[in-house]
Amino acid sequence: MLASVERVPADPAVETNRLHKRYGDVHALRGVDLRVETGSVFGLLGPNGAGKTTAVRILTTLLKPDEGSARVTGFDVVRDDAKVREQIGLAGQYAAVDENLTGFENLEMVGKLYHLGRGLSRERARDLLSSFDLAEAADRLVRTYSGGMRRRLDLAAALVARPPVLFLDEPTTGLDIRSRIGLWDAIEALVSEGTTVLLTTQYLDEADRLADRIAVIDQGRVIAEGTPEQLKGQVGGERLEIHLCDDRRGEEAVAALASIASDRPFLEDGSVRVPVAQRRGTIADAVRRLDDAGIAIDDISVSTPTLDDVFLKLTGHAAEQETEEAEAQSR
């Protein structure tokens, strides 16, 4: 019988319990609980100033929490901070590499500081430079590198010791789209090798693409958590968007479509929005019903909710908007 084989749940790679941190009057974190399963990618999503970086700084032992506790691979980040540092790699939003060293020297230095010894440090440095497409630039000073190259080197530096848990604090902020996709590929390759990744981002598409689970954080609190699909499900599933030839017949259309909708259809920005349970056949259905009612259609499409919709619904404001405000304030 299979029942005799008891599955022991593996310890989570990262676990926090009621984390609090304040700087003077500013509450950066107000009781954050996170649980990141070993081998998964966890996305911490939120606008600037939401507390993402503070959480990462606590988990990487750079900062002590005011209240609450956190464990990384079972080690307490305050009591066993030295042990935690042996288990982690950190790549930050500023490419933290030494501009006056070459790419190779940077990685070799980091390897030595992980106490890998000279031989292994050099071997890892060479391997990482070639897998991050930096082999040709290996002996050039980093100050001659482009932004994307620095970011790749920064990520490589976090991997020198092959740590089981990787923290990526806004790994692609400020990069052009080509560099972002390159970095995403690199991160996905790592995950396939079993590394646990906690990444913070303000880009919803980034979390959607990379993360198995996402926690949305706003003003120091986790306001939602789940898989990308679950979060999108919170805003409702797919939706038909129908533009009518004659705007004035909107209410009639809503009435005609009510029976195929999973939730009440409504009017928005001059078009009819119809939440639907499944996309198959719904366009044909909708066209038929409107045709029967004698309402002419200008355009019809199916839209899938994005994490932007999730964010808007959860926080009452768009992610981008708050970012701009935060930046304006910090100036």
Partner 1 sequence: MTALRYGISDTLVLAKRSLLRIPRQPDLLVGFTVQPILFVLLFVYVFGGAIQTPGFDYVDFLMPGIIVQSICFGGFVTALGLADDLKKGLMDRFRSLPMTRSALLTGRTLGDVVTNVFQLVVMFAVGLLVGFNFSSSVGEVIAGIALLLLIGYAFSWVFAFIGLTASSPEAANAYGFTILFPLTFVSSAFVPVDSMPDWLQPIAEHNPFTTMVDAARALFLGTPAGNDVWLALLWTLAIIVVFAPLSAWRYQRVVAR
Q: Which residues bind partner 1 (CB under 8 A)?
A: 23, 57, 60-64, 82, 85-86, 88-90, 92-101, 105, 109-110, 112-115, 141, 157
Q: Which value, in Å, is the radius of gyration of the alpha carbons in the chain?
A: 24
Per the CB < 8 A criterion, the answer to whether 56 and 169 are in contact is yes
Q: Which is nearer to partner 1, 153 or 240 (CB)?
A: 153
* CB 194, min distance to partner 1, A: 21
* CB 276, min distance to partner 1, A: 47
**H or E segment and range at residue 147:** helix 147-159
* CB 28, min distance to partner 1, A: 11
Residues contacting 128, CB < 8 A, separation 6+? 107, 156, 159, 160
- Strands 165-169 and 196-201, by their bridges, are parallel
Q: 279: how many CB neighbours lie within 10 A of its CB?
A: 13
Cα–Cα distance, 144 to 129 (Å, whole number):
16
Q: Which amino acid is at 122?
A: R
* CB 195, min distance to partner 1, A: 16
Cα–Cα distance, 317 to 187 (Å, whole number):
30
Residues contacting 87, CB < 8 A, separation 6+? 72, 73, 75, 163, 164, 165
Q: Which is nearer to partner 1, 25 or 292 (CB)?
A: 25
Q: Which is nearer to partner 1, 103 or 250 (CB)?
A: 103
Compute the Cα dihedral for 131, 137, 139, 140 and give only its sign.
Answer: negative
Residues contacting 237, CB < 8 A, separation 6+? 262, 275, 276, 277, 278, 305
Q: Which is nearer to partner 1, 165 or 310 (CB)?
A: 165
Per the CB < 8 A criterion, the answer to whether 90 and 60 are in contact is yes
* CB 205, min distance to partner 1, A: 25
Q: Which is nearer to partner 1, 164 or 275 (CB)?
A: 164
Q: Which is nearer to partner 1, 66 or 212 (CB)?
A: 66
* CB 89, min distance to partner 1, A: 8
Q: Which is nearer to partner 1, 99 or 247 (CB)?
A: 99
* CB 319, min distance to partner 1, A: 24
